[in-house]
Amino acid sequence: MENAEQQFKSGFIALVGKPNAGKSTLLNALMGQPIAGVSFRPQTTRRRQLGILTSDRYQMIFIDTPGLNDAKDRLSRFINNEVTFALQDADILLYLADVSKPADSLDQQLTEAVKSRQNQDGVLLVYNKTDIADPAQIQKNKASFQALLAEAKTIEVSAKTGKGLAKLIELIEERLPEGPEYYPVDQITEDFEKDIAAEMIRAAAMANLDDELPYSIATLVDEYKERDNQVLYIHGTIFVEREAQKPIVIGRKGAMIRKISTDARFAIEEMAGQKVFLDLQVKTQKDWKNDAAFLKRVGLAGAGE
C-alpha cells in the first residue's frame, strides 16, 4: 500500500444530456440509493445536484445537471447556466444519449457545447435505455450520436437495470486525476435531506399531472423533523402559477393530492430509511418562474440574475 495517498483519485463528473435522457436515474443507480427526484417527464431536474461516491481508491463527485431548454424565463435561463457551468468545470463529462431515439437538433446543440471543452479526453458517450429499444434500432441510433461526438469513448448502459454500470465506474476511475477527498467518506450528497424531499414531491407531482401543468409547479418543504415515535414528519407546499390550477392538483375529493403524497412518501421513505408522515398543501404563487425572490426561496439561487 505504499504511495497509496499519492495514488488516490478524485474529481467532478458531470452528467449532461437532453431532458429525460435518464441522468437522475443514472445518478441514483450509481449511488445505490435515491437522492434525485425521477419522473418520466422531461426537465424534472432544475439545478445541479451532487452524488458523492467514495472508495479506498477514489472519490467520484457526480453532478446531475438539468436538460438544456429554450430560455424563455428566469427559471429557464438559470437551468441553462447550470448546464453550461457543468460542461466547462467538470473533470469528466458523461454525455447521456437515449438510444431508444435518434440524435436530434437539441443533441446537436448540446454536443457542440461539449466540444468546446478543453479536455476532450474526459468525455464519455454513454448510451442509455438499452433495455427498451430494439437491437437493430439501437445500432442505428448509436451511429447518429457517434457522428456528433466522434472522438468520445462509448459505453452501453441501462440506468434502470444496472447493466454496464460497473464498467462505467472503471472507465471513470481510469480518467480521474489524482486528488484529495473533498468530502467526508460517509457523505453522499451536498443537499439537505429536506431539499431532496422537496424534489421527490415535485417529481411525484410531475408524474401524476397531465399536459403542461407539471411545469407550473414548484415545491418547498417547510418542516422536516423526526417525532418521538421515530416517524419522520414532513410538511410540504406545492406551488402553482394560477389559482385555477389548484383544484387540478388537489383533485376530486382530494384524490390527486393523496396520490402525489403517497408516491412521494414512498420515495422519501426509501431515501430516508424510515417511516414518513407527509402533509402537503397547495398554494398559488403567480408568475413564480420570473420571481427572483421566490426562486431563491425554493433553492434556485442565482435564477434571478
Write the pLDDT tens digit of every residue in 15-35.
Answer: 888 877 888 888 888 877 655
**Cα gap 155→194, rounded to integer Å:** 34
The ranges of the chain annotated as CATH 3.40.50.300 are: 4-175
**Cα gap 69→72, rounded to integer Å:** 9
Write the pLDDT tens digit of every residue in 31-76.
Answer: 776 555 443 333 444 455 678 888 999 999 998 776 555 555 566 6
What confidence score (pLDDT) does residue 235 get? 93
Inter-axis angle of helices 74-89 and 105-114, to 10 degrees? 50
- Region 90-108: mean pLDDT is 90
The ranges of the chain annotated as CATH 3.30.300.20 are: 193-297
What confidence score (pLDDT) does residue 140 get? 92
**Amino acid letter, 49:** Q
pTM of the model: 0.65
Ranking 5-19, 66-80, 187-201 by mean pLDDT, the lowest is: 66-80
DSSP 22-61: SHHHHHHHHHTS--S---SSTT---S-EEEEEE-SSEEEE
What confidence score (pLDDT) does residue 228 get? 79
CB atoms under 10 Å from CB of 72, counted, come to 10
Strand ranges of the sheet holding 276-284, from the earlier edge strand across to the other edge = 218-226, 232-240, 276-284
Average pLDDT for the chain: 81
Contacts of 56 (CB under 8 A, 6+ apart): none
Q: Is the dihedral of CA 204, 205, 209, 213 positive or negative?
A: negative
**Amino acid letter, 81:** N
207 with 39: CB under 8 angstroms? yes
238 with 5: CB under 8 angstroms? no
**Cα gap 219→283, rounded to integer Å:** 10
61 with 69: CB under 8 angstroms? no
Domain 4-175 in CATH 3.40.50.300: yes
Ranking 2-6, 80-84, 236-240 by mean pLDDT, the lowest is: 2-6
- Region 169-176: mean pLDDT is 94
Listed in sequence order, the DSSP H helices in the chain are: 4-7, 23-31, 74-89, 105-114, 135-146, 165-175, 193-208, 246-250, 255-272, 292-297
Phi, psi for 41 (deg, rounded to 5): -85, 145
82 with 63: CB under 8 angstroms? no
- Give the pairing of strands 232-240 and 218-226: antiparallel
Write the pLDDT tens digit of every residue in 233-249.
Answer: 999 999 998 999 999 99
Contacts of 152 (CB under 8 A, 6+ apart): 95, 120, 123, 124, 125
What confidence score (pLDDT) does residue 39 get? 36
The enclosing H or E element of 280 equals strand 276-284
| Domain topology for 193-297 | GMP Synthetase; Chain A, domain 3 (3.30.300)
